[in-house]
Structure 1
Amino acid sequence: MVAQGGGPTAVINQSLAGVVLEARRFSNIESVYGACHGVAGISPENIVDLGQETTQQIELVAAMPGSALGSTRDKPDTRYCQEILRVLQAHGIGYFFYIGGNDTADTLSIVSEEARKASYPLRCIHVPKTVDNDLMCNDHTPGFPSAARFVTQAFAGTNLDNAALPGIYLAVVMGRHAGFLTAASALARKYPDDGPHLIYLPERVFVLEKFLADVKAAHERFGRCMIAVSEGIHDASGTPIVSQLVKNIERDEHHNVQLSGTGALADLLCEEIKSKLKIKRVRGDTLGYLQRSFLGCVSDVDQREAREVGKKAVQYAMQGAPDGSVTIHRIGSYAADYKLT
């Protein structure tokens, strides 16, 4: 059984193809099923027989952005897992490959533990994916390079727009606890006066007064100011800035604040700039879903590595390795090795 969880990316279907096509190489694997919408599709038996698909069809799907099987953010409890195991046993499933990020890895860990308690011989392998680039033990993660390319190109283009019609431009970039995507905006700089002129990451405490002083100084120096802000910026107590500015905050099944589900952070920071600094030409954007699965910015390296982690997951499972997660380790420029962690 293979499934996809969490936010889609531009290359997650390469990992799906890697799992499916590699599994076909082993004669002792009789069937390859796909769970529609992650673990949420297993209990109601919303599953498809991927063994019926041709290699050509799988390759076409691999090149598509988004999650072809559908996704979910469900976090199973014990009863939920028992239903999952019931369906897996009914279909004779011995291997479960779950493609996703941190929350997906947590979910798979719960399923693995419940299978152990039930004495059900289910091998669970996590296949990494996240545009945030924040999975432990990885040099980088599939999905991030393509998303980073989008962020870089978005800022490079907007920089030229902003230079032609000077003002203040602010864009909120994905990254709850990790600033890798936001930091990628710096790659848009070619000349000393290119934007972004200011970058704010979740790894640093955000102080509104200092932010306004920074914006004022940059605007006076360059005659304009471009700002990259991580959605996860927070105060000294760790409270997200967006939750301080917005009264009703939505949370997902993993109790995470929905940081990119609204353009409120960009709008409110822009309003602070307008009202406190008395600057009229201020514009804000939230890059949102665009950065996750943008078709025109897919990295070849990202595609290749996403395919490889799917293949490696099957290889480790068939070698009898214990439950774990496939991880990427840098061994040189544009060269990586893969391990089960």
Structure 2
Amino acid sequence: MAGTFVIAQGGGPTAVINQTVVGATLEIRKRHPGARVLGSIHGVRGIRDGNYVDLSAIPEDRLRLIAGTPSAALGSTRDKPDAAYCEVILNGLKKADADAFIYIGGNDTSGTQQILTDAAGGSIAFVHAPKTIDNDLEENDHTPGFISAAEFVAGAFLSVDLDFRALPGIYVGIVMGRHAGFLTAAAAAWQLDPDSGPHLVYVPERAFSAKRFIDEVREKLDRHKRCIVAVSEGVSTADGKALVESLVPPEKLERDQHGNVKLSGSDLPAALERALAEGLPGKRARVDALGYMPRGYVGAISAVDAKEAFDAGAFAVAVAGEGGGSVAIQYDGSKTVLKKVPLKAVAGKTRHMPDDFMQPDANQLSEAGMTYLKRLVPEKYKVGKPFV
């Protein structure tokens, strides 16, 4: 396959998604000299509008500099194409004489590639390359972007635990993750010892009770003189309602272009602070949403994450040569390996954090959960245990 390759980025930016673009581009140059490589601006919108950057013409030294830069260098999109929109995309790819389309992203991106594959009937190779800090793609042990984001979260909670040893109180950090708790669980990866925070971890896989939350915070506060809490933005109550919808008045809920409630926005930190003030009057409490910072923080780019993202891009080119599919990062018990899996095994599906990663009767990580996290996010900083 020489011809023309189109590459696009979808969904939220990460610290390493540009590695995947560059890994694919350089692999195409090696495997298919003379092939044209078009970077679609703002995801599939660029294909729709015929808006591309010619990656074939970019010098390798500039590409490698871009590879190490966070965010999405081609621009991204939150568009979730339906069948009609995919027909427009398919026509755009045909106008570009595309032989292969590599789309880097998460669940929605893989779903788009499945629709396009079904519509094209084999005339174009469609490849999904994984990317998501949520770490929630089926068939993957972990996904590019997760390790770097997890390092940020682990470092943030280590730091705030040290801070609150000096001036005790309650701290709640809200972490991204609509349906999967992996990133929130990463808050515990760098705990110094059992006395260290986070003392409580709340993930979407378990129902959230406001009453139990207050009771557990009170118990940890009595025991440790401080309580550090990691809460996933996607936690829900037993009736399936998102926590933010339970605590925030409807008129204050923020929604995205698809009508989904913005979980970390919508005044959730203020609502949790009010709940703590009412349930634990007189106690010093602070609630922060970590927001977008973990997903592309320039100071927390994991070398392992960067290499895996680059290699996933290069492997995507090989998958294109085999007719298409999805790239998966798997673990064979001793090392990470790249595999081609069917798009339908990933498309539109969500991988949840295994239940045994949490202790059966406590909102804390289990040994299995800590083992998984420490394999991916090993201790990075040596700090001394304070006297208090």
TM-score range, shorter chain: over 0.9
Matches within 5 A, 1:39-58: 39-58=44-63
CA distance in 1 between counterparts of 2:10 and 2:53 reads 16
Q: Structure 2 matches for 1:20-39, cutoff 5 A?
A: 20-27=25-32, 30-39=35-44
Q: 1:71 aligns to what?
A: 76
1:151-203 deviations in Å (ceiling 9; x for gaps): 00001111111111111110001111111111111123113321111111111
d(CA) in 2 for partners of 1:51, 1:82:
26
Q: Which residue of 2 aligns with 1:281?
A: 284
Q: Which residue matches 2:304?
A: 301
Q: Distance in 2 between matches of 1:77 and 1:133?
A: 24
Equivalent of 1:259 in 252, 259, 263: 263
**TM-score, normalised relative to structure 1:** 0.94
CA distance in 1, matches of 2:256, 2:28: 33
Kindly state the Cα deviation for residue 28 of structure 1 after the two structures are TM-superposed: 6.6
What pairs with 1:121-136 in structure 2 (closer than 5 Å)?
A: 121-136=123-138
| Structure 1: distance between partners of 2:190 and 2:33 | 49
Counterpart contact for 1:103–1:254, Cα < 8 Å: no
Pairwise CA distance, 1:225: 0.8
* Whole-Å separation in 2 of the counterparts to 1:109 and 1:29: 28
1:329 aligns with 2:333: no
Partner of 2:149: 147
Deviation at 1:263, TM superposition (A): 6.0
Q: The residue matched to 1:172 in structure 2 has which SS?
A: strand
| Secondary structure at 1:25 match in 2 | helix
Partner SS, residue 34 of structure 1: strand
Structural RMSD (CA): 1.5
Q: Structure 1 pair 173/197, CA: closer, same or farther in 2 (3 Å)?
A: same
Take 1:139 and 1:98, find their aligned partners in 2: how far apart are those partners?
Answer: 20
- The answer to whether the 8 Å contact 2:28/2:35 transfers is no
TM-score normalized with structure 2 length = 0.83
CA contact (8 A) 1:200 1:228 kept: yes
The gaps in structure 1 that reach 5 residues or longer are none
- Report the secondary structure of 2:292's partner residue: helix
Q: How many residues align?
A: 334
Instruction: Check whether the contact 2:244–2:266 (CA below 8 A) recurs between aligned residues.
Output: no
- The separation in 1 between residues aligned to 2:142 and 2:245, in whole angstroms, is 29
Residues in 1 aligned to 2:168 and 2:80: alpha-carbon distance in whole angstroms: 46
- 1:90 counterpart letter in structure 2: K
Structure 2 gap ranges (5+):
1-5, 342-388
User: 1:27: Cα distance to partner?
Assistant: 3.0
Amino acid across the alignment from 2:117: S
Q: Report what 1:195 is aligned to.
A: 197
Aligned residue identity for 1:226: I
Q: Is the 8 A contact 2:254 2:266 kept in 1?
A: no
Deviations 1:115-141 (A, max 9, x none): 23xxx6011000000001110010111
Aligned to 2:181: 179
Percent of aligned positions that are identical = 48
Query: Secondary structure, in 3 states, of the residue corresponding to 2:299?
Result: helix
Asked if the contact 2:15/2:145 (under 8 Å) is kept, the reply is: yes
State the SS of the aligned residue for 1:40.
helix
2:318 pairs with one of 290, 315, 340: 315
